[in-house]
């Protein structure tokens, strides 16, 4: 370690050593998601500077964990490190030289997002020879009205955007619990699909590992493969699974625990939670892998909703500390056991809580992230803002929502800006004596207020109380589209498997990239992945 003023710097050997020794480390790429997706180390979790205070306490629950910030040399990593120190993190350093230095030292750089999970999916297929069928083969089965059930393992909203004809929404962790009710006859063929490859591979192999009697195959290359074959997708479907019978539940519990045991998943109890929460030496994440609806009806206090299929697909988005402990709680056990079996094979220490009863699920409603104390700001209500907008021409609104939220609806005339790009954004935003900040999440605007005051020293800065939700709740006018962009929309990488307007060349390039991930994993050498 060396000193960068009062912030330490670390190099490739430090980070690689911790990864190889399976020691806790949070390697945080603090750029926005799109530049992150262009090139980053395998276990560099995207942790945008724009959201740092909002995400820190939930994603980095142990403030003693070694944290290393990395960027492309533009100075964001040092700013992020200082902010983390200000939030109470004790072992914070900057990766010296950014991603270019990582590559120069011999480190592998990866494209896209959720790369650990996508790489793992390719690793699973290569080692398990997961069965699959081409889009043409699946369509032929459907055209002949064969005894086939198609299950779509993505989130329900993704499924509704586009799906394979006749497909039923069964998100990944639900498969072992739900498929027996959808494919009652043992000869019924089950086809598992996602948009690309990873979730269909993991879903198919889940059913194989659990010993489901039906023949099971992944739809090779998912909806991308279906589209590239010139076949038509459905849109707006709403077919979903039903509740399992007691016998189906009993069998699924036995199957899933057997898989978890084979994977080396640990078992825990409510008493263990008390011990882990008092442990200041380890990072522990607490997730509920059931459906969001079940979670909101009742969950263990302190557990975050993380549906199991997405948790396996996007692990680093909610658990960026590599080497941490992950604890899963599911009253019936099936979703927790199946999710845990995959996380264990991805080299996480995973524990499933046993012996839960309905009375233990005492907390209700959506998960509330822990936040640092809000900075002191000057508030303005929606009604006050509306009145001032009618009477003053010297008032400018800045919206720090994600670009997707901004486009879906924002206060008329509001400028979209990224906090990480604020200096450039202020060059585009009109000079004003009164700046009003807002966002889809009130806290984002609050934490941006100090930066805005520093960038526009002569202006008065106010924050909209309740953010955009308060404006909409007041029944006030909303504007849609990319009307006033002061920052480039780089806060989200456009996935080549999302939506129905992606160019075929981009889809094929994405598949070609996935096919090369196993070789990249081998060159990187830090993953510790295995299969059962």
Name every residue whose Cβ is closer than 8 Å to that of residue 179 and which is 6 or more positions away in sequence: 149, 151, 170, 190, 207, 212, 214
d(CA 397, CA 240): 42
- Residue 25 exposure: Cα atoms within 13 Å on the Cβ side: 24
The band of 392, judged by pLDDT with boundaries at 50, 70 and 90, is confident
Q: What is the pTM (predicted TM-score) of this model?
A: 0.95
Bigger pLDDT: 180 vs 6: 180
pLDDT, mean of residues 197-226 = 97
Q: What is the pLDDT of residues 318-366, one digit of tens each?
A: 999 999 999 999 999 999 999 999 999 999 999 999 999 999 999 999 9
- With beta carbons less than 8 A apart as the criterion, state whether 26 and 60 touch: yes
Please work out, in degrees rounded to the nearest 5, the angle formed at the alpha carbon of residue 456 by the alpha carbons of 451 and 459. Answer: 115
d(CA 335, CA 388): 52
d(CA 277, CA 70): 29
- With beta carbons less than 8 A apart as the criterion, state whether 93 and 1 touch: yes
d(CA 67, CA 188): 50
- The domain 120-242 having CATH identifier 3.55.50.30: the answer here is no
Res. 12: pLDDT tops 50:
yes
The band of 440, judged by pLDDT with boundaries at 50, 70 and 90, is very high
pLDDT, mean of residues 499-514 = 86
| Residue that has been written with the tokens 């605007």 in this structure | 445
Q: What is the pLDDT of residues 77-126, one digit of tens each?
A: 999 999 999 999 999 999 999 999 999 999 999 999 999 999 999 999 99
The band of 6, judged by pLDDT with boundaries at 50, 70 and 90, is confident
- With beta carbons less than 8 A apart as the criterion, state whether 468 and 401 touch: yes
- With beta carbons less than 8 A apart as the criterion, state whether 421 and 455 touch: no
What architecture does CATH give domain 265-360? Answer: 3-Layer(aba) Sandwich (3.40)
Res. 237: pLDDT tops 90:
yes
- pLDDT value, residue 434: 95
- With beta carbons less than 8 A apart as the criterion, state whether 491 and 33 touch: yes
End-to-end CA distance of the chain: 39
| Three-state SS at 442 | helix
d(CA 275, CA 273): 5
Reference 322, options 42, 2, 38; nearest CA is: 42
Reference 176, options 218, 154, 198, 205; nearest CA is: 205
Res. 500: pLDDT tops 80:
no
Res. 5: pLDDT tops 90:
no
Report the Cα 11 to chain-centroid distance in Å.
Answer: 27
The band of 1, judged by pLDDT with boundaries at 50, 70 and 90, is very low
- pLDDT value, residue 4: 55
Res. 297: pLDDT tops 80:
yes
Res. 53: pLDDT tops 50:
yes
What percentage of the chain has pLDDT greater than the value 90? 94
pLDDT, mean of residues 167-193 = 97
Burial level of 472, CB count in 10 A (0-12/13-18/19+)?
middle
> Residue-wise over 129-155: b if at least 16 C-beta within 10 A, else e?
ebebbebeebbebbeeeeebbbbbbbb
What are the helix (H) ranges across 211-245?
222-228
- With beta carbons less than 8 A apart as the criterion, state whether 269 and 355 touch: yes
Domain 120-242 and domain 265-360, same fold? Reply is yes
Res. 3: pLDDT tops 70:
no
Ranges of each domain in the chain: 2-113, 120-242, 265-360, 379-473
pLDDT, mean of residues 478-501 = 91
Name every residue whose Cβ is closer than 8 Å to that of residue 329 and which is 6 or more positions away in sequence: 286, 287, 288, 299, 300, 303, 336, 352, 353, 356
- pLDDT value, residue 368: 94
| Three-state SS at 40 | strand
- pLDDT value, residue 93: 98
- pLDDT value, residue 502: 80
For the domain spanning 2-113, the CATH number is 3.40.250.10
- The domain 379-473 having CATH identifier 3.40.250.10: the answer here is yes
Reference 492, options 29, 34, 112, 10; nearest CA is: 34
What are the distances in angstroms from CA 398 to CA 90, 110, 440, 442?
33, 34, 12, 13
Res. 59: pLDDT tops 90:
yes
Bigger pLDDT: 11 vs 394: 11
d(CA 228, CA 242): 32
The mean predicted confidence, pLDDT, of the chain is 96
Reference 335, options 353, 360, 317; nearest CA is: 353
> Residue-wise over 475-488: b if at least 16 C-beta within 10 A, else e?
eeeeeeeeebbbbe
The band of 501, judged by pLDDT with boundaries at 50, 70 and 90, is confident
């Amino acid at each position: 370690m060396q000193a960068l003023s009062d912030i330490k710097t670390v190099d490739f050997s430090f980070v690689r050593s911790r990864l190889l020794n399976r020691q806790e480390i949070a390697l945080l790429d603090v750029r926005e998601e799109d530049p992150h997706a262009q090139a980053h180390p395998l276990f560099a979790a995207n942790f945008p500077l724009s959201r740092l205070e909002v995400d820190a306490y939930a994603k980095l629950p142990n403030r003693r964990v070694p944290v290393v910030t990395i960027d492309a040399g533009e100075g964001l990593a040092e700013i992020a490190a200082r902010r983390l120190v200000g939030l109470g993190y004790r072992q914070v350093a900057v990766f010296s030289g950014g991603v270019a230095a990582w590559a120069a030292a011999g480190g592998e750089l990866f494209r896209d997002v959720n790369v650990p999970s996508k790489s793992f999916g390719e690793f699973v297929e290569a080692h398990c020879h997961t069965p699959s069928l081409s889009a043409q083969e699946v369509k032929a089965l459907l055209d002949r009205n064969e005894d086939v059930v198609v299950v779509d393992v993505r989130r329900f909203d993704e499924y509704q955007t586009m799906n394979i004809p006749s497909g039923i929404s069964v998100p990944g962790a639900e498969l072992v619990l739900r498929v027996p009710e959808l494919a009652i006859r043992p000869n019924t063929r089950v086809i598992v699909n996602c948009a690309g490859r990873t979730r269909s591979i993991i879903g198919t192999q889940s059913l194989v590992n659990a010993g489901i009697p039906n023949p099971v195959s992944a739809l090779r290359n998912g909806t991308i493969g279906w589209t590239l074959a010139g076949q038509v997708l459905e849109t707006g479907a709403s077919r979903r699974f039903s509740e399992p019978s007691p016998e189906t539940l009993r069998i699924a519990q036995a199957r899933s625990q057997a898989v978890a045991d084979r994977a080396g998943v640990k078992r825990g109890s409510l008493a263990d939670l008390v011990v882990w929460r008092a442990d200041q030496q380890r990072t522990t994440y607490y997730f509920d892998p059931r459906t969001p609806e079940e979670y909101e009806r009742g969950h263990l206090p302190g557990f975050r909703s993380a549906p199991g299929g997405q948790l396996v697909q996007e692990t680093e988005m909610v658990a960026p500390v590599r080497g941490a402990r992950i604890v899963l709680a599911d009253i019936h056990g099936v979703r927790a056991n199946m999710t845990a079996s995959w996380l264990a094979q991805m080299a996480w220490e995973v524990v499933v809580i046993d012996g839960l009863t309905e009375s233990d699920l005492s907390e209700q409603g959506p998960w509330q992230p822990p936040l640092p104390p809000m900075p002191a700001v000057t508030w303005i209500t929606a009604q006050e803002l509306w009145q001032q907008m009618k009477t003053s021409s010297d008032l400018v609104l800045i919206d720090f929502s994600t670009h997707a939220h901004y486009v879906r609806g924002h206060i008329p005339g509001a400028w979209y800006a990224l906090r990480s790009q604020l200096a450039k954004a202020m060059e585009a935003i009109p000079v004003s004596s009164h700046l009003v900040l807002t966002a889809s999440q009130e806290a984002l605007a609050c934490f941006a207020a100090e930066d805005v005051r520093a960038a526009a020293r002569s202006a008065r800065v106010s924050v909209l109380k309740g953010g955009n939700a308060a404006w909409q709740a007041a029944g006030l006018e909303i504007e849609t589209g990319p009307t006033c962009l002061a920052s480039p929309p780089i806060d989200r990488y456009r996935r080549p498997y999302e939506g129905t307007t992606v160019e075929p060349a981009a889809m094929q390039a994405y598949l070609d990239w996935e096919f090369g991930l196993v070789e990249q994993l081998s060159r990187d050498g830090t993953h510790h992945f295995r299969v059962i």
